[in-house]
Structure 1
Amino acid sequence: MTVRFSSSVVSGRTGARRAAVHPAAVGRTIARVVAGLVLVLLVLVVVRLPWVGDLGIHAATVQRLRHSPLDPGNPLVDADTPSPYYSPWMLLLGGVARVTGLGVFVVLRLAAAAGLALLVTGVWRYVRTLSAQRAAPALALLSLLLLWGTTPFLWSGFPGLNSLALTVAYPSTFTLGLAFHFWAWLTAASRGAAGWGAWLGLGVLWAVILLCHQFSGVVASAGAVATVVAARPGRATWPGPAVALSAGVVVLWVWPYYDFFALLGAGEGLEPVHRVLYARPVARYGLVLLGVAALVPRWLRDRRDPLVVFFVLGTLIVSAGWLTGHYSWGRALPAALVPAQLAAALAAGRAGRRWVRAGWAVLFTGALVLGGWAQAGTLGYVVPRGALPEVVADRYRSPWTGYHWITSWVRYGDVVMAEGRAARQVPAYGGYTVAPGYPDFFLPDEGRRVAATRAYFAEGTSEAVRRGVEREYGVRWVVDRSGVLAGTALRAVARGPEGAVLYAVP
């Protein structure tokens, strides 16, 4: 007996088998799975909330706004001054803490989760305006997190995996997520007939971004200019962006917690600390050169491509900072890095000759693997260091130890003499320090406070001088990690990790 099969049935089954193993489909699946695993890692990091860098100032800001939302004063020292940390986002977090009674670090975990969600959804929305490829959002997210350099780099507003793991609770993460949504909304408004309400809303959103994190606001502004330029607005469409700009300036002008425009003269005190942004560029950002290469064909196809214009604007700002010595302008580096990273991701799935697609896929995947390996130490924030392979554990950076051990003694509003890392952490628990742990443009006597702190902890300083400093600034407690105050008139009341001692002032 002979069995005959219909050719249509055979071809249908063959086509189904081919579709099931199509390289593009496999690539999309792998990209989504890897992106999902990376996001799970970041969610677990949010639960732990490792402490390095500026977490203390943000916790202190929530503390002040929870206790006095209308007149919080300086977040770090006992002085009635404004502060650029009092942004709309932090005001909302302070309100959450005040209404719910949740602890500051619980609220910061909620902020981290919200910021991460906003960043992921913002990347998805913006990338959808640039490409219809189904894998593009996942590839873009992986590119933003992993396509950096061979040396891990940590700085707020820089969305590398290692950096984001330690800054996810910062306003910079929330602000960058807002920026991606802002660009997506602005793209849609620029392409269609947006009403006046939409343009007013865009202006308000732009102002909120600038108020929440000024440096990320510069990046968002560069991306906005690129979006408008790419839309080729004519004379009839310019009123919309003009209305948005005017609305944003009004919001910036009326914000009551600090004078936004006064920050334009604050760069001088920030230049030394930001010079490091220009150091070792190949090690820190070298893999992004792949994205720069991906921008070239985009520029050849369209001189007003939004990613190309965005990259050029960011490069000009950062280069001008280097040439003029305004190193704080290096905080605009994401305005050059982000468009290149997105271009690399979009090129990975672009249609073209098979060998070109395959070659680019190999380069892009290799760069992601290399960048991910450079940041493998991030696993240490969710996996015990002893459980990590030695080669990965060596890349792990231990977070700071908290100062919760002083809270049995130090009450909210007490002044604590501290320096260095302690000065950055003590205000997170409600205390004030004599000198701020971070540069403060709005604090008129900052220099005097820094000098008093330096003299207090100097060897050979007389007890009379120390008592005078304590009286002048109302010091009730002293945190010393150097041991220079051992044997003085101060009374030790508690001891913490790393040799820290809490003294009571007589």
Structure 2
Amino acid sequence: MTGRLWTARVAALVLLLLLLLAVVRLPWAGDLGIHAATVERLRHSLFDPGNPLVDADTPSPYYSPWTVLLGCVAKATGFSVFVVLRLGALVGLGVLVTGVWRYVRVLSARPAAPPLALLSLVLLWGTAQFSWSGFLGLHSLVLTVAYPSVFALGLAFHLWAWLSRAQGWGARLGCGVLWAVILLVHQFSGVVASLGALAVVCSARTGWRAPGRLAVGLALGTVVLWVWPYYDFFALLGAGDGMNAVHRSLYRDLPGRYWLVLVGVAALGVRWWRDRRDVLVLFFVLGAVVFAAGGLSGHWSWGRVLPAALIPAQLAVALEVVEAGRRAVRAGWACVLGAALAVGAWAQAGTLGHVVDRGLLPGVVEAKYREPWTGYQWITPWVGYGDVVMARKFPSRQIPAYGPYTVAPGYPDFFLRDEGERVAAARTYFSEGAAGGVRRAIVREYTVRWVVDRGDGLRGSEGLRAVTRGPDGQILYEVVG
């Protein structure tokens, strides 16, 4: 066991070092722009930040307790938003690791269990590249380490550990507050946390001997959700249909993305055979049922609950390696898990390109690497904070990170009532052969000062002056008429 323990610890430390290097590099991808923009708005106006993406006075679910704290740090220190996001990533990663450690120690006293659990959570996925916030695969974590979802999932593990041992009134009330904070920080991870907490309660050997404490804790958490001043949490309950299109892909290529998790499902079967009320089995069933219901009903946004099925399976196989009765059985589980982790690590080896120079990678690893996005810092010498930029959808996902607004948001926005009109205006502006008068009307309506576009399609247009060129043939135009 000593050799296995040290092997697991060394492998887990190497994995954590890779993630720390990712924090330093902070690859530009996915939703980094909206989180950077959120912190930037809070830095400038902590109590009335407005919409993070467009020049509109609307609430936003991105203004959570976590981003408000980061906004306070940005305001107090004067650090750039990307430095603050790196600091937040370090804290979020620390909360995640300590949360996993605490919860696994609730499930097993074996010292090898926590590092094996960390390795399984990060590497035991599939062989198809996949990244999404709220999913703990290495490929996802490297790209989303600065996202609120990582912090929220870390808090979720702490919640499950705390709830598993909570006895008095204070502990139950604290669990209720923590539950609410997780939901405010990242709503989808909050659902995962809720299912895990339900599994903990349902598996408790003491039964429902303290329903009053649980009910009061739940009520206190609900009050916290209700009084949060930056957005109406309960209004989001009606936002699911508007999020379905973007989440449809979560139900595609399931075998390629997750087939290694079947090892964990087998381990859950063993745990169920030993204990029909096993907490990880209940957690898995809850997550799988909700995920399947989303697929069958066409509520694709319910796919974000999938970690509620993946996490217990990944933990289960790690625990079997150290908890299975006979030494031969434990050795068998160790061999199976070791092989699966090796396959998973190789499948996600392309993430090394985010922390080392691409030229240093072997050719077979380099082929797995995907370049991160190019930022828009090249426009900042001219475009000031709060200026409105006309841009297509993809640039609109990044430009607000540097302080400007865009006409149309780069992400779906439930609270922005004129989102459809803004998207239509941007589409009309960039449409081929759009009349000069139509473009001028759009510029006036949204007080556009700058235009960003790729290629020379707008060159020579009335009222625009080319200022500078950026990567990939992009041009920054100033509105002059």
- Structure 2: distance between partners of 1:352 and 1:231: 23
RMSD of aligned alpha carbons: 0.9
After the TM superposition, which residues 40-439 of structure 1 pair with which residues of structure 2 at under 5 Å, given as runs?
40-189=17-166, 194-439=167-412
- Report the 3-state secondary structure (helix = DSSP H, G, I; strand = E; otherwise coil) of the residue aligned with 1:349: helix
Give the TM-score taking structure 1 as reference length: 0.94
- Structure 2: distance between partners of 1:287 and 1:104: 37
- Structure 2: distance between partners of 1:354 and 1:37: 27
Conserved? CA contact 1:458–1:484, under 8 Å: no
Deviation at 1:238, TM superposition (A): 1.1
- Structure 2: distance between partners of 1:49 and 1:279: 28
Deviation at 1:356, TM superposition (A): 2.2
- Structure 2: distance between partners of 1:485 and 1:225: 56
- Report the 3-state secondary structure (helix = DSSP H, G, I; strand = E; otherwise coil) of the residue aligned with 1:52: coil
- Structure 2: distance between partners of 1:73 and 1:217: 24
Give the TM-score taking structure 2 as reference length: 0.98
Conserved? CA contact 1:122–1:179, under 8 Å: yes
- Structure 2: distance between partners of 1:239 and 1:155: 38
- Structure 2: distance between partners of 1:353 and 1:306: 22
- Report the 3-state secondary structure (helix = DSSP H, G, I; strand = E; otherwise coil) of the residue aligned with 1:494: strand
Deviation at 1:487, TM superposition (A): 2.4
- Structure 1: distance between partners of 2:265 and 2:146: 30
- Report the 3-state secondary structure (helix = DSSP H, G, I; strand = E; otherwise coil) of the residue aligned with 2:263: helix
- Report the 3-state secondary structure (helix = DSSP H, G, I; strand = E; otherwise coil) of the residue aligned with 1:477: strand
- Aligned residue number for residue 7 of structure 1: none
After the TM superposition, which residues 15-30 of structure 1 pair with which residues of structure 2 at under 5 Å, given as runs?
24-30=1-7
Conserved? CA contact 2:261–2:314, under 8 Å: yes
Tell me the matched-pair count.
479
Which string of whole-angstrom CA distances, capped at 9 and with x for unpartnered residues, describes residues 163-222 of structure 1? 000000000000000000111001111xxxx22222111111100000000000000000
Where does structure 1 differ by over 6 angstroms across 4 or more consecutive aligned residues? none
Match of 1:502 among 451, 476, 479: 476
- Structure 1: distance between partners of 2:432 and 2:218: 55
Between 1:234-243 and 1:100-109, the stretch displaced more is 234-243
Letter in 2 for 1:110: L
Deviation at 1:360, TM superposition (A): 1.6
After the TM superposition, which residues 411-490 of structure 1 pair with which residues of structure 2 at under 5 Å, given as runs?
411-489=384-462, 490=464
Which string of whole-angstrom CA distances, capped at 9 and with x for unpartnered residues, describes residues 436-482 of structure 1? 00000000000000000001111111111111100000000001024
- Aligned residue number for residue 18 of structure 1: none
Matched, 1:493 2:470: no
- Structure 1: distance between partners of 2:461 and 2:210: 72
Conserved? CA contact 1:45–1:382, under 8 Å: yes
Deviation at 1:353, TM superposition (A): 2.9
- Structure 1: distance between partners of 2:393 and 2:265: 39
- Structure 1: distance between partners of 2:170 and 2:122: 35
Deviation at 1:233, TM superposition (A): 4.1
- Structure 2: distance between partners of 1:357 and 1:414: 61
Letter in 1 for 2:473: G
- Report the 3-state secondary structure (helix = DSSP H, G, I; strand = E; otherwise coil) of the residue aligned with 1:163: helix
- Report the 3-state secondary structure (helix = DSSP H, G, I; strand = E; otherwise coil) of the residue aligned with 1:153: coil
- Structure 1: distance between partners of 2:45 and 2:230: 12
Which string of whole-angstrom CA distances, capped at 9 and with x for unpartnered residues, describes residues 412-442 of structure 1? 1000001122100110000000000000000
Deviation at 1:223, TM superposition (A): 0.3
Which string of whole-angstrom CA distances, capped at 9 and with x for unpartnered residues, describes residues 61-109 of structure 1? 0011110011110000000000000000000000000011111000000
Structure 1's unaligned 5+ residue stretches are 1-23
Between 1:491-500 and 1:435-444, the stretch displaced more is 491-500
- Report the 3-state secondary structure (helix = DSSP H, G, I; strand = E; otherwise coil) of the residue aligned with 1:411: coil
Deviation at 1:138, TM superposition (A): 0.2
Conserved? CA contact 1:405–1:496, under 8 Å: yes
Q: Over alpha carbons, which structure has the higher Rg?
A: 1
- Structure 2: distance between partners of 1:341 and 1:87: 29
Conserved? CA contact 2:117–2:314, under 8 Å: yes
Deviation at 1:235, TM superposition (A): 4.5
- Report the 3-state secondary structure (helix = DSSP H, G, I; strand = E; otherwise coil) of the residue aligned with 2:449: strand
Deviation at 1:486, TM superposition (A): 2.1
Conserved? CA contact 1:147–1:368, under 8 Å: yes
Deviation at 1:236, TM superposition (A): 3.2
